[in-house]
Amino acid sequence: MADAKVIPFDDDRSRASRGAGSRRRGSAAESAPVGEGPGGEVQPLPVRGAAAQDLAEPEEPDESPGARPTTEGGGEEGGEDGGLERRVAAGLSFLRRRLTGDYEVDDFGYDAELTDQVLMSLLRPMYEKYFRVEVKGVENIPAQGGALIVANHSGTLPLDGLMMQVAVHDHHPADRHLRLLAADLVFVLPVVNELARKLGHTLACAEDAERLLAQGELVGVMPEGFKGIGKPFGERYKLQRFGRGGFVSTALRQGVPIVPCSIVGAEEIYPMIGNSKTLARLLGFPYFPLTPTFPWLGPLGAVPLPTKWTIQFGEPIPTDGYVPEAAEDPVLMFNLTDQVREQIQHTLYKLLVQRRSVFF
């Protein structure tokens, strides 16, 4: 694998390649079998003659005590049988759309249907049962319009970004979806590349971030990058440098609020006690972690520790009150970057003091 490099967030250059464009492959009306409508629902066949008259004049329902409407199979209407049938029908309809290509993705490759019905369902057990994530301050995320969520980054593997994405998806009252900005290494790894695109992730460059914000999307960024996710265990919860303030410049140009986000619990899932730089260079990785279990226990060492997580979204910092030229002011960018960083760091210390245990 070629050496991966991180594209700075404030780099205005265009990406060399982009995900699949917005498309709708096939038409539900054209590909649906006989008897099915455009949405995959079974349509009633036309009835004529005496049969139609019988249907038009149904018998009086039995109003005796205890009488309940039943389904054809003998179960109660709306009972378990009916619910199971609806789920099976919905599942088959979903499979038909996937096989026929009758689904949509946007310019970045984001597949909303696959994310909602499959990918989030796969991440949710880890979120709810394994890490038992507690979410605070989700109401600080705007209900509509563009916004930039800035969070700390840690944990050796970027599970914190995925858990933050589930937190917004499942807990925000407006059912918003978070679009994460990721390093270019994510988009050169097989399988990971496709899954990241389907989840709505895109390259961490200013051009993509501005396009998403201009479309009113919720965008997430972790400015520490590899410096944060690959730091030694002894430096846990100590924020690294936030780059050159590119995320602040992007927020200023679009006039969207910046929402600080603090994540506690991710630092301990893979306690990084060493870094094999030789293996990292051979594999083209920014670092090769050595933990108490990896690589000594093989694949078993890649299982994260079941720590207890807390994700807190802070008060938004508005940027719409600045003139357009403010995005080019280095002093203002430095001050706002420092303000966001300090707010995240202060919240991290506060959450750590309140935490009873790493695992409970």
Please state which of the ranges 21-35, 108-122, 227-241, 304-318 shows the lowest mean pLDDT.
21-35
Output the average pLDDT for the chain: 83
- H-type helices in 233-311, by residue range? 246-254, 277-283
pLDDT at position 15 over 50 = no
90-119: per-residue pLDDT in tens? Answer: 888 888 888 888 889 999 999 999 999 999
Selection from 44, 29, 34, 43 nearest residue 97 by Cα:
29
Cα distances from 282 to residues 136, 234, 360, in angstroms, run 41, 26, 39
**Rounded Cα distance, 182 and 291, in Å:** 24
Mean pLDDT of 27-37: 40
- What percentage of the chain exceeds 90 in pLDDT? 67
For residue 36, what are its two tokens?
């099915």
Exposed, middle or buried, 8 (CB in 10 Å: 0-12/13-18/19+)? middle
Q: What DSSP string describes 240-259?
A: ---TTSHHHHHHHHHT--EE
Greatest distance between any 2 Cα atoms in the chain:
83
Any alpha helices (H) in 80-134, and if so which ranges? 80-100, 112-114, 120-125
Q: Which pair of tokens denotes residue 98? A: 């996937």
Give the model's confidence band at 120: pLDDT under 50 very low, under 70 low, under 90 confident, else very high.
Answer: very high
Instruction: Output the pTM of the full model.
Output: 0.76
Whether 230 shows a pLDDT value over 90: the answer reads: yes
Q: Rounded mean pLDDT of 67-79?
A: 45
What's the one-letter identity of residue 59?
Answer: E
